[in-house]
Structure 1
Amino acid sequence: MEALICRNLGDPILAENAPLILSCTHPIPQINSPTAVRIRIIATSLNFSIYLQILGKYQEKPPLPFIPGSDHSGTVEAVGHSVTKFEIGDPVCGFAAVGSFAEYLVPKGCDLVAAGALLVSYGTSHMALVHRAQLHAGQLEKGKMTMMFVDNTYKNYLLVSIIFIRSGIYLYKCNMCSGGVGVAAIQIGKILGATIIVVARGEEKVKFLKSLGVDHIVDLTKETCMESVKGFLKKRRLKGVDVLYDPVGGKLTKETLKFLNWGAQILVIGFGSGEVPIIPANIALVKNWTVHGMYCGGYLIHQPHILEDSVKELLSWLAKGLITIKISHTYSLSEANLAFTVLKDRKAIGKVVIVFNEQKEVRSKL
């Protein structure tokens, strides 16, 4: 089979001394367990965490050589004799994390390539907002929601503020507002009834964000972020923020902490800026803040039933058309260096996906 193998750590976009090699004769994994399932991959999504892992800068460091990857989709090719949940030919999506794997049946009507880009971005956002921060559409009678995004010049930052239950705002801060996690947060926020304000830079991203149903966009080429935020808070008579969603870290975390209300929740999603922020414990104590660490892969190990519930709801939303997976770029496995270049340079507006040549039309049994 074809496989992209990381033989040494380094930048995957390099042509010389490249850490990645394409093997066309890699051994096909055998069913060596009665509960094992083998998947013929149709599509796999690239996430920034994979890029960091190949660089050797991610928290999970598999021994060399390894095959990088996380979320994917495909069809069941073989099953162990004790497997009852899956049958050969079933369309599935799933992801691998810290040495474990999870697969989920893809409902009828879902694009299988799109499903291959679902789990990490949408699973992280869904579990952070719905499971950890306890945001539910049925609670909106107690308040209203507003979301705001920010796109920085050199790195894309996502600031999302959601008014919910209390007279405050939920504020998300996310890397790559036009990428997978940002789009996921916007779409989930819309399902929860949010009014969304996006602060971005440039006509291309403004146009794309409008297509997602964003209610208001502040273009940083025309006005400053802080003035706009203060003006918005004043106009809506809002005191501050109730939830901070932060996959960026760095200096922007310190700035956004200033918006947090008493009793606010901080969701630590990642450190896309490359800098781990310091959250002052003395202020957290005085203001009764709650800090949640949120790593999607950890649920696969410790609480897989919560992850499964989240994925089932997301797949249901995908089948109903409530969420749409925006595919920005598609590449073949031999073009992986180009795919990582798009990811590194923040050129993707949506997800970057590797699509395999052999694709067959499959039917879902759901």
Structure 2
Amino acid sequence: MQAFCIETKGAPARLCEIPQAPLGDNQVRITIKACGLNFADLLMQKGTYQDTPETPFTLGMEIAGIVAGTGNNVSNLKPGDRVAVFSGQGGLAESGVFDADRAILLPDTMSFEDAAAIQIAYGTSHIALEHRARLQPGETLLVTGAAGGVGLTAVEIGKLMGATVIAQARGQDKLTVAQNAGADHLIDAGEDLRARVRALGGADVVYDAVGGEVFKAAFRATNPEGRLLPIGFAGGDVPQIPANHLLVKNLSVIGVYLGGYLKFRPEIVRDSFSTLFHWHSEGRIKPHISQVLPLQDVATGLDLLRDRKSTGKVVIRINSPL
């Protein structure tokens, strides 16, 4: 079958032919129909992601498709079921074998493309804002990189949770995307972030997907007892946090890593995905997918992420045979 894989450490990912993996007793074989791209895929190519697998491996962290086979110990799924799987790897292929306890049944109303776009971006934001930061109605949420894959979902979920949302992004087109997702106030990346946020009353919760100088400015615009969520470092620099400033304003910096929960509290991820799928079926959330590309154009999709030319999610549609 075809897959977009990394064969040796340091080699570029490429489309190649690989054999089907054997099916274990507690696993399911999925005919993959769609796979979401993530910034972590770029880091895995460089070998700098915290969960980069040993080579050879296939990229692709979140998939949706149809169950083609089940292991001997799997009783809750059957061939023909439509499912989503937060796979961590192996998604950019025509087929894959995954642990059955990671598969979640899709609502009839959810497309494969939406299911592939919803898991990591929405799951990260939902767990970050509800489970970790305990965002409350009436609080002010600042989202940096607000038109990106995770930032846009934070805008949408923050608004659903009753917050006033300040969105920061680069350029009017991206700010308009954030506004359409529910942002109350818009700040261009070229403006003085600290001054603008403080003029709006400061931030109670900061959801930062950029890092670097943007995080520093947001840090200084956070209200006493505020909570800061360093989600990613798309700007390239991991910020160094001055502990003495945390003391002065009683601030909390809270780590969030969706994949980490699968290792010690997987029910947090399952419950979050169930909530998100329910919200989707009710029409309360709708993934913003800027590009849908075929498997042979994965490199183009990753370039869009690297060059920050996409908004929301880039999804790969895989026309796998059943």
Q: Report the 3-state secondary structure (helix = DSSP H, G, I; strand = E; otherwise coil) of the residue aligned with 1:358.
A: coil
Structure 1 residue 220 displacement after superposition: 6.1
302-311 or 187-196: bigger deviation: 187-196
Give the one of 37, 53, 61 matched to 2:44. 53
Q: Report the 3-state secondary structure (helix = DSSP H, G, I; strand = E; otherwise coil) of the residue aligned with 1:93.
A: strand
Structure 1 residue 22 displacement after superposition: 1.6
Counterpart in the other structure of 1:42: 33
Q: Report the 3-state secondary structure (helix = DSSP H, G, I; strand = E; otherwise coil) of the residue aligned with 1:52.
A: helix
CA change 1:98–1:295 in 2 (3 A) is farther
Q: Residue by residue, what CA displacement relative to the aligned partner does 1:3-53 show, whole Å, maximum 9, x if unpaired?
A: 11112455xxxxxxx7122223x21122122x1111111000110111111
Instruction: Please give the alpha-carbon distance, in whole angstroms, between the structure 2 residues aligned to 1:199 and 1:67.
Output: 34
Instruction: Please give the alpha-carbon distance, in whole angstroms, between the structure 1 residues aligned to 2:311 and 2:174.
Output: 8
Q: Residue by residue, what CA displacement relative to the aligned partner does 1:289-339 show, whole Å, maximum 9, x if unpaired?
A: 323211100001110011111110001011111110111111111111111
- Structure-2-length-normalised TM-score: 0.89
Kept in 1, the 8 Å contact 2:66–2:80? The answer is: yes
Instruction: Please give the alpha-carbon distance, in whole angstroms, between the structure 2 residues aligned to 1:177 and 1:359.
Output: 37
- Structure-1-length-normalised TM-score: 0.79
> Does residue 57 of structure 2 align to residue 66 of structure 1?
yes
35-44 or 280-289: bigger deviation: 280-289
Q: Residue by residue, what CA displacement relative to the aligned partner does 1:120-174 show, whole Å, maximum 9, x if unpaired?
A: 11111000001011235xxx3xxx24xxxxxxxxxxxxxxxx2xxxxxxx4343x
Instruction: Please give the alpha-carbon distance, in whole angstroms, between the structure 1 residues aligned to 2:185 and 2:247.
Output: 35
Structure 1 residue 76 displacement after superposition: 0.8
Counterpart of 1:42 in structure 2: which amino acid? K
Counterpart of 1:72 in structure 2: which amino acid? I
Instruction: Please give the alpha-carbon distance, in whole angstroms, between the structure 1 residues aligned to 2:247 and 2:74.
Output: 49
CA change 1:4–1:98 in 2 (3 A) is closer
Instruction: Please give the alpha-carbon distance, in whole angstroms, between the structure 1 residues aligned to 2:230 and 2:199.
Output: 27
Give the one of 167, 177, 185 matched to 1:208. 177
Structure 1 residue 213 displacement after superposition: 3.4
CA change 1:277–1:206 in 2 (3 A) is closer
Instruction: Please give the alpha-carbon distance, in whole angstroms, between the structure 2 residues aligned to 1:285 and 1:179.
Output: 31
Kept in 2, the 8 Å contact 1:243–1:265? The answer is: yes
Which consecutive residues of structure 2, in runs of 5 or more, have no partner in the other structure? 91-97
Counterpart of 1:182 in structure 2: which amino acid? G
Kept in 1, the 8 Å contact 2:146–2:168? The answer is: no
Kept in 1, the 8 Å contact 2:193–2:217? The answer is: no
Q: Report the 3-state secondary structure (helix = DSSP H, G, I; strand = E; otherwise coil) of the residue aligned with 1:118.
A: helix
Percentage identity across paired residues of the two chains = 39
CA change 1:293–1:39 in 2 (3 A) is same
Structure 1 residue 93 displacement after superposition: 0.7
Which consecutive residues of structure 1, in runs of 5 or more, have no partner in the other structure? 11-17, 146-161, 163-169, 234-239, 361-366
Number of residues of Structure 1 aligned to a counterpart in Structure 2: 313
Q: Report the 3-state secondary structure (helix = DSSP H, G, I; strand = E; otherwise coil) of the residue aligned with 2:150.
A: helix
Q: Report the 3-state secondary structure (helix = DSSP H, G, I; strand = E; otherwise coil) of the residue aligned with 1:97.
A: coil
Counterpart in the other structure of 1:196: 165
Structure 1 residue 218 displacement after superposition: 4.3
CA change 1:108–1:243 in 2 (3 A) is same
> Does residue 89 of structure 2 align to residue 120 of structure 1?
no
CA change 1:307–1:57 in 2 (3 A) is same
Counterpart of 2:135 in structure 1: which amino acid? L
Instruction: Please give the alpha-carbon distance, in whole angstroms, between the structure 2 residues aligned to 1:226 and 1:291.
Output: 18
Give the one of 280, 287, 290 matched to 2:252. 290
CA change 1:245–1:211 in 2 (3 A) is closer
Instruction: Please give the alpha-carbon distance, in whole angstroms, between the structure 2 residues aligned to 1:339 and 1:352.
Output: 6
Give the one of 17, 20, 37 matched to 1:28. 20
Q: Residue by residue, what CA displacement relative to the aligned partner does 1:328-356 show, whole Å, maximum 9, x if unpaired?
A: 11111111111111111111122111111
Kept in 2, the 8 Å contact 1:78–1:88? The answer is: yes
Matched ranges for 1:319-338 at <5 A = 319-338=281-300
Kept in 2, the 8 Å contact 1:92–1:104? The answer is: yes
Q: Residue by residue, what CA displacement relative to the aligned partner does 1:85-106 show, whole Å, maximum 9, x if unpaired?
A: 2111111112123898521111
Over the residues paired in the alignment, what is the CA RMSD in angstroms? 2.3
Instruction: Please give the alpha-carbon distance, in whole angstroms, between the structure 2 residues aligned to 1:93 and 1:123.
Output: 13
Kept in 1, the 8 Å contact 2:171–2:188? The answer is: yes
Counterpart of 2:318 in structure 1: which amino acid? F
Kept in 2, the 8 Å contact 1:329–1:352? The answer is: yes
209-218 or 327-336: bigger deviation: 209-218
Counterpart of 1:265 in structure 2: which amino acid? R
CA change 1:272–1:75 in 2 (3 A) is same
Kept in 1, the 8 Å contact 2:57–2:89? The answer is: no
Instruction: Please give the alpha-carbon distance, in whole angstroms, between the structure 2 residues aligned to 1:341 and 1:51.
Output: 9
Counterpart in the other structure of 1:171: 142
Counterpart of 2:104 in structure 1: which amino acid? Y
Counterpart in the other structure of 1:184: 153
Kept in 2, the 8 Å contact 1:6–1:65? The answer is: yes
Structure 1 residue 274 displacement after superposition: 2.1
Rg (Cα) greater in structure? 1
Instruction: Please give the alpha-carbon distance, in whole angstroms, between the structure 2 residues aligned to 1:8 and 1:261.
Output: 47
